[in-house]
Amino acid sequence: MAEADRIMLFTERAKAASAEVLGPAPKSGLAEEIGRALSAGRHPRAVAHPSLLTIHPWLEFASSDCDLVRHADLGIIAARYGIARTGTCVYEPSNSAERLIALLPPTCLILLRTADIVADIGALAAAFDDRHAGVAQSLFITGPSRTGDIEHVLTLGMQGPGRLVIALWHEDT
Amino acid sequence: MKRRVDDALGSPVLRHALADFSARYVKMRKAAFGGLDFEAIRDEVVAVKERAISERERLQREFAEKLEAKGGRVHRADDSAEANQIIRGILEEHGARKVVKSKSITSEEIRLNKALEGAGLEVTETDLGEWIVQLAGHSPSHMVIPAIHMDRNQIAALFSEKLGEEVPPDIGGMVKLARRHLRRALTEADAGITGANIAVAAAGTLIIVTNEGNGGLATSLPRIHIALVGTDKLLPDWPSAMSILRALPPSATGQRMSSYVSFLTGPALEKQHVILLDNGRRRMAESPDFRQALRCLRCGACLNVCPVYRIIGGQAFSHVYMGGIGTILTAFIHDRDAACELAKLCSGCRACATVCPAGIDIPFLIEKVAGLAAEENGLGPIEWLLLRGVMSRRRAYHALMTSLGKAGGILADKDGMLKIGAGALPSADFRAIPVVARESYRSSLSGRDAREEKGERIIFFTGCLADFVYPETARAAERLLSSVGFETAMPTGQGCCGLPAHHLGDAGTARRQAAEAVKSLSAEGAEPIVTVCPTCLHAIRSLWPELLAGTELESEARRIAARAVGISSFLIARADKLRFAPAKQKITYHDSCHVKNMGEGEELAARRLLTIAGYELVETGENSCCGFGGTFSVNQPGISEKMLSARLDSLSGTGASCAATDCPGCVLQIRGGMARRSVRFLARHTVEYLAEALVDSDD
CATH code, domain with A94:
3.40.50.10420
Q: What's CA B96's distance to the chain center, in Å?
A: 42
Domains and their CATH numbers in chain B: 47-148+183-279 (3.40.50.10420), 283-377 (1.10.1060.10), 388-478+488-572 (no CATH), 578-693 (3.40.50.1860)
Q: What is the pLDDT of residue B21?
A: 87
Q: What is the pLDDT of residue A136?
A: 79
With CB atoms and an 8 Å threshold, state whether A142 touches B255: yes
Q: Does A152 touch chain B (CB under 8 A)?
A: yes
Mutation site, B101, B143, B256, interface A, largest A CB count within 10 A: B256
Q: What is the pLDDT of residue A58?
A: 60
Q: What is the pLDDT of residue A40?
A: 56
What is the rounded CA–CA span in Å between residue A75 and residue B434?
A: 69
What is the rounded CA–CA span in Å between residue B157 and residue B147?
A: 14
Q: What's the rounded mean pLDDT across residues B528-557? A: 94
Q: What is the pLDDT of residue B422?
A: 46
Mutation site, A149, A152, A154, interface B, largest B CB count within 10 A: A149
Higher-scoring residue by pLDDT: B407, B27 = B27
What is the rounded CA–CA span in Å between residue B533 and residue B3?
A: 34
CA dihedral of residues B98, B102, B108, B110 (deg, nearest 10): -60
Show the domain range for A102: 3-170
Residues in chain A with CB shorter than 8 Å from the CB of B248 are none
Residue B531 clears pLDDT 80, i.e. is over it: yes
Q: With cut-offs at 50, 70 and 90, classify the pLDDT of residue B646.
A: very high
How do residues A13-27 score in pLDDT, each as one tens digit?
999 999 999 989 998
Q: What is the pLDDT of residue A46?
A: 77
Q: What's the rounded mean pLDDT across residues A94-120? A: 93
How do residues B58-89 score in pLDDT, each as one tens digit?
999 999 999 999 999 999 999 999 999 999 99
Nearest to B21 among A95, A138, A152 (CB): A152
Mean pLDDT for all residues in chain B: 91
How do residues B287-328 score in pLDDT, each as one tens digit?
999 999 999 999 999 999 999 998 898 888 767 888 889 999
What is the rounded CA–CA span in Å between residue B218 and residue B260?
A: 13
Higher-scoring residue by pLDDT: A9, B435 = A9
Nearest to A145 among B70, B148, B212 (CB): B212
Higher-scoring residue by pLDDT: B145, A141 = A141
Residues in chain A with CB shorter than 8 Å from the CB of B29 are none
Q: With cut-offs at 50, 70 and 90, classify the pLDDT of residue B46.
A: very high
How do residues B169-206 score in pLDDT, each as one tens digit?
999 999 999 999 999 999 999 999 999 999 999 999 99
By CB atoms closer than 10 A (0-12, 13-18, 19+), residue B98 is middle
Q: What's the rounded mean pLDDT across residues A162-169? A: 96
Domain tally, chain A:
1
Name the least confident of B523-532, B545-554, B632-641: B523-532
Q: What's the rounded mean pLDDT across residues A47-68? A: 66
Q: With cut-offs at 50, 70 and 90, classify the pLDDT of residue A132.
A: low
Question: Nearest Cα to B208, choosing from B196, B219, B199?
Answer: B196
With CB atoms and an 8 Å threshold, state whether A135 touches B174: no
Spatial contact of B349 and B625, defined as CB atoms under 8 Å apart:
yes
* B41: closest chain A residue by CA: A122
Tell me the CA distances in angstroms from B241 to A126, B28, B443, one per residue in order.
12, 23, 60
CA dihedral of residues B444, B450, B456, B457 (deg, nearest 10): 70
Show which of residues 56-85 on chain A sit within 8 Å of chain B, judged by CB atoms: 70, 83, 85
Residues in chain B with CB shorter than 8 Å from the CB of A10 are none
Nearest to B256 among A13, A103, A158 (CB): A13
Name the least confident of A83-92, A112-121, B514-523, B535-544: B514-523
With CB atoms and an 8 Å threshold, state whether A148 touches B172: no
With CB atoms and an 8 Å threshold, state whether A152 touches B205: no
Name the least confident of B188-197, B398-407, B632-641: B398-407
Q: What is the pLDDT of residue B697?
A: 63
- Share above pLDDT 90 across residues of chain B, in percent, rounded to a whole number: 69
With CB atoms and an 8 Å threshold, state whether B145 touches A146: no
With CB atoms and an 8 Å threshold, state whether B128 touches A85: no
Residues in chain B with CB shorter than 8 Å from the CB of A96 are 219-221, 268-269
What is the rounded CA–CA span in Å between residue B653 and residue B665?
A: 22
Q: What is the pLDDT of residue A44?
A: 64
Residues in chain A with CB shorter than 8 Å from the CB of B245 are 121
Residues in chain B with CB shorter than 8 Å from the CB of A147 are 128-129, 175, 211-212
Higher-scoring residue by pLDDT: B597, B45 = B45
With CB atoms and an 8 Å threshold, state whether A144 touches B259: yes
Q: What is the pLDDT of residue B402?
A: 85
Q: What is the pLDDT of residue B520?
A: 87
How do residues B463-495 score in pLDDT, each as one tens digit?
999 999 999 999 999 999 999 999 999 887 888
Residues in chain B with CB shorter than 8 Å from the CB of A9 are none
Q: Does A87 touch chain B (CB under 8 A)?
A: yes
Question: Nearest Cα to B264, choosing from B126, B69, B67, B106?
Answer: B67
Residue B374 clears pLDDT 90, i.e. is over it: no
ipTM: 0.94
Q: What is the pLDDT of residue B588?
A: 97
Residue B49 clears pLDDT 90, i.e. is over it: yes
Q: With cut-offs at 50, 70 and 90, classify the pLDDT of residue A135.
A: confident
With CB atoms and an 8 Å threshold, state whether B256 touches A85: yes
Q: What count of CB pairs under 8 Å joins A to B?
A: 167
With CB atoms and an 8 Å threshold, state whether B259 touches A141: yes
